[in-house]
Amino acid sequence: MSRFLPQETIRRKRDGLVLDPQEIRTFVAGLTGDQVGEGQAAAFAMAVFLRGLSLPERVALTRAMTESGRVLSWDLPGPVLDKHSTGGIGDTVSLPLAAMVAACGGYVPMISGRGLGHTGGTLDKLASIPGYDASPSLDRFKAVVRETGCAIIGQTPDLAPADRRLYAIRDVTGTVESLDLITASILSKKLAAGLGGLVMDVKVGSGAFMAALPEARALAESIVAVAAGAGLRTAALITCMDATLASAAGNAVEVAYAIDYLTGRAREPRFHAVTVALGAEMLVAGGLARDTEEASARLESVLASGAAAETFARMVAALGGPADLVEAPERHLAAAPVTREVRQAGTVASVDTRAIGLAVIGLGGGRTRPEDGIDPRVGFTGLARPGDAGGLLGVVHAADADAADRAERALRAAYRMGEASGETSAERPAVIERIA
């Protein structure tokens, strides 16, 4: 057998050649077996980013990354379902959605990632909950799913380990936006989780990796096609990220926002619309509702009754977090020592949402290197949307006054203000398109 040379695979993709499935499997095996160095993994990611993969190459890469570790199987009395977002700012949907679907009879083993590029990560949000074990053993993970109906954790060493390594490299090499790598990364984890149905939330807009609708549609179609090739029932919704989805962006502040949403203390219309639309697709995919209208009604019911909030509380407690987090989040979620309102006269015309995500990183709420720590306290709340005319752009949550100054400048720069002359612009619908 000839010796495996990672640089030859990199060279072939760099030159635009099509890789055969065995070549892809061998390279992915090298990622998990340390035959591929950090520089080589980064070069491969860049070659794929620049040259792209054909559909058969995407399927082969996804399968190889799925099979690089353990693939779960489930024996549960209901359907195993999940949702995944391509990433955005204030995209806190996973936290309430998992509990809502579980309260409706689904089982949601949600394996989430850290922040990528300018977007926040569900795993980083959960890390702001004291005691919450986002890296449990697989046995404990499965037990919590069985007992509570859902568990949101980070990627374990056993599941799709090749993706775990490539995921961190993409974050710091300018290759996050690769349609091919996004597709393989998302689906390898979901296939390894043993799902029966998946719903994709593909973001489009100034805060998304796909800023234009044709790009977002291409990614949605890629994910649906590759998932179909792998035997996983998948639908995709293209949703708007022209402004932050929630009015909070950060880690602890987004957990608090999710709790307010579940308990009904605050329920913003666009966030609610996206959450219910995704949940309805999940219930229909799992046979828990005849259509999305019936599914939406069931989701509204578990919110109104408190069943969804109770399910979230049970999940947090089962994974080591405070038993009373939902009742008293302020008792457990760390608060930043400096808060500051940022105000500006006029009506919001548009938002550079990506700039807000970068401002969260500048505050310490995200990473510039894989090994960087995160300050869970920092971020923004009360963020304005296009059309808002109240004067408040947002509230800065910072570790010190200097950081607050920088964040205030960044927040002001992210907003374009209009006048009564008609310079303001309306947002697109929260849910733009469905692809299946």
**Catalytic annotation, residues:** 82-85, 122, 170, 185, 189-190
Tell me which residue of 47, 62, 34 sits closest to 8, measured CA to CA: 47
Helices (H), 306-393: 307-318, 329-332, 353-360
In 130-184, which ranges are E strands? 150-154
Task: Tell which phi-psi region holds residue 253, choosing left (phi > 0), alpha (psi between -120 and 50) or beta.
Answer: alpha
In 68-175, which ranges are E strands? 81-85, 108-112, 150-154
CA atoms within 13 A on the CB side of 80: 20
Q: What secondary structure, in 3-state letters, does 186-231 show?
A: HHHHHHHCCCCEEEEEEEECCCCCCCCHHHHHHHHHHHHHHHHHCC
Distance from the first to the final alpha carbon of the chain:
43
Distance CA 192, CA 69 (A): 8
Taking residue 360's Cβ as centre, other Cβ atoms within 10 Å add up to 29
Position 212, amino acid: A
